[in-house]
Amino acid sequence: MPETQLHIATKAIHAGQFPDPSTGAIMPPVYMTSTYVQSEPAVHQGYEYSRSGNPTRTALEANLAGLENGKYGLAFASGLAAENTLLHMLKSGDHIVSARDVYGGTYRLFDRVWKQYGISFTTVDTTDVMQIKNAIQPNTRLVWLESPSNPLLTCTDIEAAVEIAHQAGVKVVVDNTFATPVLQQPLGFGADIVLHSVTKYLGGHSDVIGGALVVDDDELHEQLRFLQNSTGSVPGPMDCFLVLRGTKTLAVRMRQHCENAMIVANFLQQHPEVDRVFYPGLADNESHAIASKQMTGFGGMVSVELNGDLERNRRFASSTKLFALAESLGGVESLINHPASMTHASIPKAEREKGGLKDTLMRLSVGIEDAQDLIADLDQAIARSRHAIVKKNQKPSACENGLGQLNRAC
């Protein structure tokens, strides 16, 4: 059966995977080598130097391409390395229309790095696709979507956004980190480039940093492959192996993440001390209709604002026992994060608030533990946050011990 016709759970395990030709090893070996012996100058077996290509990375790139139903996958040292490499396709004077609600590091890369090289960007609410249309200029080269978005979990109609962008000759990038290819495949909606922080669900175990791009177009692939090699932010073979180990269980993990997140979102929505719950799976969520149209599940991320002030919400984040207070998401274990002071601190407060991201918002990465234990943990943390001042970490924080300048959240 052609690989493209296989179901996603099968592709997760088999796409791009072959027994090692020299030993029959069923798992791709970790090719810990920087270079490859050539029989004559420029005569080799397909690999010259591991920045340009490494067999473990090839196995991962083929797997990622298969998962996203794309022709080509390219792996990078981090999600931001993938973004940065992609941005090298632009030149001074070019313009990007970006979703306003994006990962803080993505905004920082646009605003603090690429702006100084003459790349301008406009942020809009991409859930209203007319805002994309109105923001496109003659020099716009990319429309940058994140759906569901980080951390407000809004969903953009990818097909409609692609239609508008393509009419203007503009390429569309979709950061598919939160959905994963199990729940959403943007290339199928006409997107040009799919982006991942594979650090998250694809890796799935909070033990590796990585990124990826997946494309269908031959020319685009050639351009990105050239930039991958020329700028050099590639992952090492061990990291590729770890991500490949992660993707094999992606389909089953996502099923459980979705189920648990729905239970958590319903619990929070019914709690009298909760102000607002953000989860596209809830029927009254603004993105519910779009998410239902283009996703096969609603994902494992839930954001929440409790009644009361920032201090109350901060105490909540410090009071959970199973939900660890940490940046990142998508691992098997549950995490809680305060975007305003952690993952999104590099977005100016005014810009955050323009997009509806309040200081009181807390983001949950709902893991695959037993959902009843997760609810019990949230319930006790809500109760404790009413009064107690709880410090999870007895050691002084980086902000308090003089290392603040190393911590972007300080």
Residues in touch with ligand P1T (CB under 6 A): 78-80, 103, 105-106, 146, 150, 175, 177, 197, 199, 209, 211, 327-329, 337, 343
Tell me the β-bridge partners of 73: 214
Element (H, E) at 278: strand 274-278
Min CB(199)–ligand P1T separation in Å:
4
Residues 102 and 349: their CA atoms lie apart, in Å, by: 14
Residue placing its CB nearer to ligand P1T in the complex, 102 or 170: 102
Min CB(340)–ligand P1T separation in Å:
13
Min CB(298)–ligand P1T separation in Å:
16
Which structure tokens are listed for 274? Answer: 């909760």
Q: State yes or no: cis peptide before 272, omega within 30 of 0.
A: no
Residue placing its CB nearer to ligand P1T in the complex, 149 or 318: 149
| Active-site entry in 94, 101, 125, 175 | 175
Residue placing its CB nearer to ligand P1T in the complex, 187 or 329: 329
Min CB(344)–ligand P1T separation in Å:
8
For residue 125, the SS3 value is: coil
Helices (H), 109-209: 129-135, 158-167, 180-183
Min CB(377)–ligand P1T separation in Å:
20
- In the complex, which residue's CB is closest to ligand P1T? 79
Residues 129 and 389: their CA atoms lie apart, in Å, by: 44
Residue type present at position 46: G
Residue placing its CB nearer to ligand P1T in the complex, 62 or 213: 213
Quick check: is 51 catalytic?
A: yes
| Active-site entry in 20, 36, 51, 71 | 51
Contact indicator for 11, 67 with CB cutoff of 8 Å: yes
Q: Which residue has the tokens 């037993």?
A: 370
Which bin fits 180, alpha (ψ -120 to 50), beta or left (φ > 0)? left
Min CB(105)–ligand P1T separation in Å:
5
Is the C-alpha dihedral spanning 202, 205, 206, 209 positive or negative?
Answer: negative
| Active-site entry in 47, 103, 107, 201 | 103
Contact indicator for 361, 344 with CB cutoff of 8 Å: no
| Active-site entry in 133, 141, 171, 200 | 200
Quick check: is 103 catalytic?
A: yes
Residue placing its CB nearer to ligand P1T in the complex, 47 or 60: 60
Which structure tokens are listed for 400? Answer: 């308090």
Q: Which residue has the tokens 């390429």?
A: 171
Contact indicator for 201, 64 with CB cutoff of 8 Å: no
Kindly list the catalytic residues: 51, 103, 175, 200
